Structure 1
Amino acid sequence: MLLTRHGFLWVFITLVLAGLSSPVYPFDPVADMSVLYRTHVDRRLDVPAVEVQRYAELATEALVMAGVSLVQPQYLAVVDRDPEIQAFFLFWRSAQGEFQWVGASPASTGRPGSFDHFQTPLGVFDHTTENPDFRAEGTRNSNGIRGYGAKGMRVYDFGWQHVPKGWGDGAVVDMRLQMHATDPDLLERRLGSAQSKGCIRIPASLNRLLDHYGVLDADYEQALRNGRPLWVLDAQREPVPYPGRYLIVVESGRADRPDWAPAPGRR
């Protein structure tokens, strides 16, 4: 049966109205981000519930000690620098202060003991546009290592920190605290052990997840809303609602290495 002009119009309007009436499902900051974490991050840790609670308590204590009061719900990046753990944890903190675990991955923090090496400082560090991020150029150093990882990897900058030297007289000096990927061929397989000069190394796939979804970009998104152009942000990103802005470094104080955080080469 052929449709008249009015018939086509009626079908078109019906389809449009049907589309408008379709349910819209909001982004769930825990369930949906957990799926994205499992789907896109290739190096993950399966953390027991009792350990999740432990890290939520350590993060809460660090926030209190730093005098940071959180009002908005947001994501928090927590890193354990303990030599027996060396891991990154992504949490969602609700407006009521409830912590929910999203995902975890092996990481590397500072290994003091030789020249120009620091222990990654403890505390709460604000990710702001005052210390602009940048992207790795993918160039190799004299040892053939791409220190920031492959070209295009985002380098998260948390500014200058006053920390004791990990060598010599141990005097307090300035160290630039950053979080970034590492050489995918030579160093990423060492994640899960202390390896860096003081910065935090994370898997490249985790770096891409945080970058693409703007998980720690609360201040950057606010700058965009204020009309400030930021070249470091990917134009194709899909920012999450209520992004975070804080990196929390803790030390859990372990006597030995738990099964859920195996040493490199034993995964």
Structure 2
Amino acid sequence: MMLMFRSALLCSLMLAASATTGAAIAEPVQARMQAIPVVASGFQASLTLLREQMRQEVPGLLTLSTVQTDQLLDLARGQLQASNVVLSRPQLLIIVDRSPSVQQLLVVAASPSEGWQVIGATHVSTGKPGRREHFLTPLGVLQNTPDIVGYRAEGTRNEYGIRGLGVRGMRVWDFGWQETDNWRWPGTKINIRMAMHATDPDALEPRIGRPDSQGCIRIPAVLNRFLDRHGVIDAEIETAAQSDPRFAALLLPGRIPTPIAGNTVVVVDSSLARQSGLAAMTQR
């Protein structure tokens, strides 16, 4: 079955109330609850295996301090609570820190009973407002669900010779329309199409680790392949693929999906937490 490819420039400013690509608009994240099957056993063994696989497949993983790790996990728990998302079973999730000085992504194994453990961490690039059609990556919870059919990069170049979504075949996780700050009119909001994807390996991937995107989450190609191969946030997509050929065509042939896959990306900002802490100290 042919893989589905779609040419699109994501993270562009879109003022329309609905998508023009034919993908369904996602429900508000705060209205969704996780509805994926419970993993009965093997959580610790699965996360240990995935940690080793990530170490082998994603070179240059970051080493985070205990203080930084605890802060990011706490911020992510807060975002989940604010969005009324409950993790009803042990599963993987992704945390992205959009702080300009951090720009990191963590793959986390989260268990309601056994706590949260980091599988691995890498640099990413999030939105850099101030340029045409560039906006801040929105805080909150993004979910990979069958409400939207994701796609793969075609590897086409724009007028500047840039392959914005990476080389042909790179996975694009499409999270639908999300609200973010509109820097052009302070105090107002705007909807952007949110996705997580690779980027041009020559011109843009070397810049990963600093704010640079139009609002999407840019990830290294090796991380894209790892997430795709092991279905890290594809739990609902794997289920949908059993009965819907669109999702079967999307998923990678020969993949090795982890049994603790989830469907959630949580975007946080540790710089805001630091600012809040400093403000509280000055008021004492």
**Interval of TM-score (by shorter of Structure 1 and Structure 2):** 0.7 to 0.9
Identify the residue that residue 244 of structure 1 maps to in structure 2: 262
Identify the residue that residue 18 of structure 2 maps to in structure 1: none
- Is 1:203 aligned to 2:212, yes or no? no
CA contact (8 A) 1:30 1:101 kept: no
- Give the letter aligned to residue 223 of structure 1: A
CA contact (8 A) 1:114 1:167 kept: no
CA contact (8 A) 2:43 2:260 kept: no
- Give the letter aligned to residue 28 of structure 1: A
- Give the letter aligned to residue 235 of structure 2: A
- Is 1:228 aligned to 2:244, yes or no? yes
- Deviation, 1:82, is 0.3
User: Which of 153, 167, 171 matches 1:136?
Assistant: 153
Query: Take 2:160 and 2:81, find their aligned partners in 1: how far apart are those partners?
Result: 42
Query: Take 1:145 and 1:170, find their aligned partners in 2: how far apart are those partners?
Result: 33
CA contact (8 A) 1:29 1:92 kept: no
Identify the residue that residue 195 of structure 2 maps to in structure 1: 178
Please identify the structure whose Cα radius of gyration is greater.
Answer: 1
SS at match of 1:30: helix
- Give the letter aligned to residue 108 of structure 1: S
Identify the residue that residue 108 of structure 1 maps to in structure 2: 125
- Deviation, 1:44, is 1.9
Query: Take 1:133 and 1:68, find their aligned partners in 2: how far apart are those partners?
Result: 22
CA contact (8 A) 2:181 2:188 kept: yes
- Trace 1:34-49 onto structure 2 (pairs within 5 A): 34-49=51-66
- Deviation, 1:97, is 5.7
Query: Take 1:26 and 1:97, find their aligned partners in 2: how far apart are those partners?
Result: 9
- Give the letter aligned to residue 204 of structure 1: A
Identify the residue that residue 236 of structure 2 maps to in structure 1: 219
- Deviation, 1:27, is 8.0
Query: Take 1:90 and 1:61, find their aligned partners in 2: how far apart are those partners?
Result: 17
Query: Take 1:55 and 1:97, find their aligned partners in 2: how far apart are those partners?
Result: 17
Identify the residue that residue 184 of structure 2 maps to in structure 1: 167
- Give the letter aligned to residue 228 of structure 1: D
SS at match of 1:28: helix
Query: Take 2:188 and 2:115, find their aligned partners in 1: how far apart are those partners?
Result: 39
Query: Take 2:177 and 2:60, find their aligned partners in 1: how far apart are those partners?
Result: 29
- Is 1:83 aligned to 2:103, yes or no? no
CA shift digits 1:29-50 (9 cap, x unpaired)? 3211111111111242111222
Identify the residue that residue 271 of structure 2 maps to in structure 1: 253
My pick for the range that moved more, 247-256 or 46-55, is 247-256
Segments of structure 2 that go 5 or more residues without pairing to the other structure are: 1-41, 276-284
Query: Take 1:55 and 1:30, find their aligned partners in 2: how far apart are those partners?
Result: 19
Identify the residue that residue 56 of structure 1 maps to in structure 2: 73
- Trace 1:66-77 onto structure 2 (pairs within 5 A): 66-77=83-94
CA shift digits 1:189-226 (9 cap, x unpaired)? 1111000000000110000000011110011012124x
- Give the letter aligned to residue 54 of structure 1: Q
Identify the residue that residue 49 of structure 2 maps to in structure 1: 32
Query: Take 1:127 and 1:224, find their aligned partners in 2: how far apart are those partners?
Result: 13
SS at match of 2:223: helix
CA distance 1:30–1:133, change in 2 (3 Å): same
- Give the letter aligned to residue 146 of structure 2: T
SS at match of 2:146: coil
CA shift digits 1:224-245 (9 cap, x unpaired)? 24x1222110121111102110
Identify the residue that residue 17 of structure 1 maps to in structure 2: none
Query: Take 2:226 and 2:251, find their aligned partners in 1: how far apart are those partners?
Result: 13
Query: Take 1:130 and 1:213, find their aligned partners in 2: how far apart are those partners?
Result: 21
- Give the letter aligned to residue 249 of structure 1: V
CA distance 1:170–1:134, change in 2 (3 Å): farther
- The structure 1 segments of at least 4 consecutive aligned residues displaced by more than 3 Å after TM superposition are 168-171
Segments of structure 1 that go 5 or more residues without pairing to the other structure are: 1-24, 257-267
CA shift digits 1:47-95 (9 cap, x unpaired)? 1222212111111111111111111110010000000100111100013
SS at match of 1:143: coil
- Deviation, 1:251, is 0.3
TM-score, normalised via structure 2 length? 0.77
Query: Take 2:254 and 2:112, find their aligned partners in 1: how far apart are those partners?
Result: 29
